Amino acid sequence: MAKEGTEVTEETEHMIEKNGAKESDSVASAGDTKEMRAVVLTGFGGLNKLRVSKKPMPEPQEGEVKIRVKSCGLNFLDLMVRQGNIDNPPKTPLVPGFECSGIVEALGDNTKGFEIGDRVMAFVNYNAWAEVVCTPLDFVHKIPDDMTFPEAAAFLMNFVAAYMMLFEVANLREGMSVLVHSAGGGVGQAVAQLCSTVPHVTVFGTASPFKHEAIKDSVTHLFDRNIDYVPEVKKISPDGVDIFLDCLCGENTGKGLSLLKPLGTYILYGSSNVVTGETKSFFSFAKSWWQVEKVNPIKLYEENKVMAGFSLLNLLFKQGGCNQVKTVVQKLLSLYSQKKIRPVVDSLWALEEVKEAMQRIHDRGNIGKLILDVEKSPTPLMANDSTETSEAGEEEEEHEGDNDNKERMPFIQ
């Protein structure tokens, strides 16, 4: 195998050795081209569409910052991207991921405010799950000295979305009540923490029963995600809630609207109910669409209710919302410095363990955010799943007894 000096990490060398002569030949033919490890989605579908491979390292264009990535955030949206369960999905192969943290390695022309060596966190329009990313200056934010790289990778997407929904869309104020689904997830925990910064806010949350003990201190009233929560909420608050945050969609749209108090706000920010199996299900998609209550604007007018939607990535990448987001990030960093909020990191995974990490999200097993740690060595029995691939990029046939490997867990914080 040809040597590549410091540009090849120990993990990459380990991976190349595992992939054998085929990888060696491709590296040798690359010549002086700088390369990096990245998670590649070879096509939309199941977990076998993901692999770790080498790609040309990007260089910053004008107005861009080049970041040596330390940690990447993994969101439920990434699972939907893998399945092709989003509107206008990009063409594959692609490198997934929308947020990361790391160290500034280079700056393009006309970039001010950052220096090489700065610790930063950033939004990325795909391509975040790699050793190096380049992203426009407006999407990059400095990390506080006491914030770790995994915490930084768990910060932007979750807390910015939670803050903007609560305070800029729904106008959260003292004494109000909020219901949030998936209260144990990254956004759910961010919502709970931000609600605690306002006096006398009541938080209702739904979550899997095994999470209740871990999150009971952050949520006022917890309900099993599998039960009909509407009558349970009304037993406690007969008038309903002021803010309903829905990441599920489907039948929950009608339930959310029915629970709103006058002048209450329903916000849809996801549609995870369309995800049932490992691959895209047209039946689940159709069922979720069919269950969505057809909203009559006249009824909203008569009942004094507000219905809204929120997509942080569309706001950033399609609607020019960078300045709004920058302002929110500064407010959030102020709350962080006051120790009023802190990202909840569920677990750290090597790039080669991305399949297991995604399965954990699919199974709703996480409390807080899952993080891909670029420098973490994979658990030996797990690494095969993402690095040993056939020429077509498909997962090799699983041998008898390999299922035991999937029960091995990474470092859990």
Q: pTM score, two decimals? A: 0.82
Query: How far is 375 from 68, CA to CA, in rounded Å?
Result: 11
pLDDT at 235: 96
Q: Which residues fall within 8 angstroms of residue 296, CB to CB, at 6 or more apart?
A: none
- What angle is formed at CA 214 by the lines to CA 210 and CA 216, rounded to 5 degrees? 100
Token pair recorded at residue 78: 């990434």
pLDDT at 151: 98
pLDDT tens track for 76-129: 899 989 988 788 888 999 999 999 999 999 999 999 999 999 999 999 999 999
Q: Which token pair is 289?
A: 């669409």
pLDDT in tens, 345-368: 999 999 999 999 999 988 888 999
Contacts of residues 88-93 at CB distance under 8 Å and 24 or more positions apart, as own/partner, are 89/44, 90/126, 92/41, 92/42, 92/43, 92/44, 92/49, 93/40, 93/41, 93/42, 93/43, 93/393
Question: 6: pLDDT confidence band, cut at 50, 70 and 90?
Answer: very low
Residue 196 DSSP SS3: coil
Q: What is the pLDDT of residue 203?
A: 98
3-state class (DSSP) for residue 41: strand
Least confident of 67-76, 182-191, 384-393: 384-393
pLDDT at 293: 63
pLDDT at 397: 35
pLDDT tens per residue across span 240-295: 999 999 988 777 888 989 999 999 999 999 865 454 455 544 544 444 444 556 77
On the question of pLDDT at 23 being above 60, the answer is no
Tokens standing for 66? 């080049």
What is the C-alpha separation between 52 and 88, in angstroms, rounded?
Answer: 24
**What single-letter DSSP state applies at residue 398?**
P
Q: If you search the block for the tokens 């500034």, which residue do you land on?
A: 104
Q: What structural domains does the chain harbor? A: 35-150 (3.90.180.10), 157-337 (3.40.50.720)
Is 229's pLDDT higher than 50?
yes
pLDDT of residue 27: 38
Which range among 185-189, 232-236, 252-256, 323-327 shows the weakest confidence by mean pLDDT? Answer: 252-256
Average pLDDT over the chain reads 83
